[in-house]
Amino acid sequence: MGPTIGAVVTKSSSNTLRIYCASKAKHHPRWQALRAMGLDIRGLAAQLQHSRTILGRVVCSLEQCVREASNSQALLLVMLENENHCGALVEMGAALASGRQVHAVLPSSVGLSFRHHPLVQVHATIADAVKAITARST
């Protein structure tokens, strides 16, 4: 088991790094917790107050998501077992097209070809991904 997220976030690593989190909306409490630790988290966690719910799903402006993903310094993609992603893949594509590093937490059973892209680094846990992202900023 890797380190907890709180154990990897330090004041020196959390000052100005813009991290875009691409995941299912149900993960927003994780991103809010990272914000509370001082990280500049963008994406769904930052947009929930500006989003609306349609048929039980949170809907955000895809244009805004693409813009923020492109302007982030790193993108954290979280695709857990049995999750179906569409918007997160668009956000990841925008980040890659802008030359941004993508830190992905993916199920090992899923053979997604983008894991071989030179700007994609795959991590076993969210804490490992956050540690790698914040280490690059120090």
Contact criterion met (CB below 8 Å) for 91 and 42: no
Give residue 136's pLDDT. Answer: 74
Opening angle at CA 31, ends 28 and 37, nearest 5: 145
pLDDT tens digit string along 20-53? 999 887 888 888 888 888 888 887 645 555 455 5
Mean pLDDT of 79-102: 90
Give residue 87's pLDDT. Answer: 83
Q: Which domains does the chain have, with CATH numbers?
A: 5-136 (3.40.50)
32-46, 52-66, 122-136, range with the lowest pLDDT: 52-66
3-class DSSP state of 110: coil
What is the Cα–Cα distance from 123 to 104, expressed in whole angstroms?
6
- In this predicted model, which residue has the larger pLDDT, 4 or 108? 108
Count of residues making up the chain: 138
Q: Is the pLDDT of residue 85 over 50?
A: yes
pTM over 0.75: yes
What is the Cα–Cα distance from 138 to 136, expressed in whole angstroms?
6
Opening angle at CA 47, ends 46 and 49, nearest 5: 105
